[in-house]
Amino acid sequence: MPKITIIDSQTAGISGNMLLGALIDAGADFARIQETLRLIPSHYPKCKSLKADASEVRKHGFRTRYIDLSISEKDEETSAQEMLDATVRIAKASKLTERGKAFAIGSITSLVEVESKLHGLELSRTHLHEAGSADTLADVFGVAAACDCLRTFDGEILGTPVAVGGGSVSFSHGKLATPAPAVLELARQNGIPIVGGPEAEELATPTGICMLSNLTQRFVESYPAMIPEKVGYGAGTKDFEKTPNILRVVVGQSIGEDLASETIQVLETNLDDLPGEMLGQALQQILDSGAKDAWITSALFKKGRPGHVLHAICDLADSSKVTEVMIRETGTLGVRFQQWHRYALERTVEAFKLEIAGRSFDVRIKFARDSSGNVVRVKPEFEDVCSVAEALSMPAREASDAILQALIQAKAAKKKD
């Protein structure tokens, strides 16, 4: 059965030390993590010394793991480039797996790029404040080492909607409403679902969100069918009146899902005043903007007015862009949206040079595979089918059959060689 890990931040959000504490509580080897953390002072000039301690604490009666970092560092700003360079040096010097190193570098890259965008400066001119502290590197490399210990990277990693809290947050640039700008931008860029509350405090930190975005493949509102094997609880620093300040990580085996599943956004809008040719143009623009699919259905609205419903399916990260195109091209006053979960075969498109009727054609062919990698469907891309049909003066259905037959012959010849 495939391995699955759920990072559950619905209760009290996510921070770097909460995630690290939860992974250690779930069984990650703290000694191996400390071995990685000891590299930071040697490769990050700002950091003089760093010591980590993992202890059990109680939050609203729940036993959790709390990570306490004792850091001595120079009181100076760090440039984004210095942070990135240090990250690469630490990764190269570490015993992390390639997946672990890629996660650490990717997380810090996400963080500094967001800071650069929010400041409106090039990366080379961006200086970090809170994000430039050595505890950011400790959180990221600690989580990378913990995930290696638990073999988290070997399976699927899911997230839940993130509680971001409320009220306001004070930082180097002043006081702003929660969530912090970096948290909001990272959520926007990566399609991370967020929800306010349950406390009027900052619950999600930029470090926590950037690691979540570099770990998770998808987000779910409820747990999928699985057998839990390890459960870990990580504690945040603050104590809240009503809410346990904890993050939960669940590691186990996925069951009952022979097909891969994904979360998609479904967009719809009602139209009763758009000419047919405009509808067709809108449909094409939506597909060109990144929608996975789009279609139109007939409908009868109030007062007996005939019209149409325009539908689109897209990835969560593309929903804003596709919505903007729907509004721009149709003039609609609103677009409905909802998230759906669906099972899907893995799809890849490969290019082939095939001999058909004595002529050579470049043809793209889509392959659909099940979770075991077995090919269950093969289909030529329709645009290439039409090109072959026009060149050979034959119907498209015959051209499609000829392409598939040529593919079989090409594969057989290659196997024989």
Read off the pLDDT of residues 321-337 as tens digits, 9 standing for 90 and up.
Answer: 999 999 999 999 899 98
76 Cα distance to chain centroid: 33
Given a cut of 60, whether residue 391 has pLDDT beyond it is: yes
Given a cut of 70, whether residue 256 has pLDDT beyond it is: no
Q: What is the pLDDT of residue 257?
A: 55
- Point out which residues pair with 103 in neighbouring strands: none
Lowest mean pLDDT among 52-66, 78-92, 259-273: 259-273
Given a cut of 90, whether residue 303 has pLDDT beyond it is: no
388, amino acid identity: V
Please say whether the beta carbons of 353 and 362 come within 8 A. yes
The 8-class DSSP code of residue 250 comes to E
Q: State the pTM of this model.
A: 0.65
The pLDDT tens digits of the residues spanning 326-372 come to: 999 999 989 998 878 777 778 889 999 999 999 999 999 999 887 77
- Average pLDDT of 257-261? 61
Among 140, 135, 69, smallest CA distance to 109 is for 140
Q: CB-based burial of residue 268 (10 Å sphere; 0-12 exposed, 13-18 middle, 19+ buried)? A: middle
DSSP three-state, residue 121: coil
Spatial distance between the Cα atoms of 136 and 83, rounded to a whole number of angstroms = 10
Helix, strand and coil in the chain, % to nearest 5: 40, 35, 25
Lowest mean pLDDT among 78-92, 141-155, 163-177, 218-232: 163-177
Spatial distance between the Cα atoms of 169 and 155, rounded to a whole number of angstroms = 35
- Point out which residues pair with 270 in neighbouring strands: 309
The structural domains of the chain, ordered by start, are 3-258 (no CATH), 261-344 (3.30.70.1380), 346-416 (3.10.20.300)
> pLDDT-based confidence at 173, cuts 50/70/90?
low
- DSSP symbols for 28-83: --HHHHHHHHTTHHHH-TTEEEEEEEEEEEEETTEEEEEEEEEEEE-SS-EEHHHH
Please, what's the b/e burial string for 291-300 (b: 16 or more CB within 10 A of its CB; e: otherwise)?
Answer: beebebeeee
Among 215, 211, 200, 112, smallest CA distance to 163 is for 200
More confident residue, 1 or 57: 57
Cα-based distances in Å from 26 to 201, 219, 225: 27, 21, 20
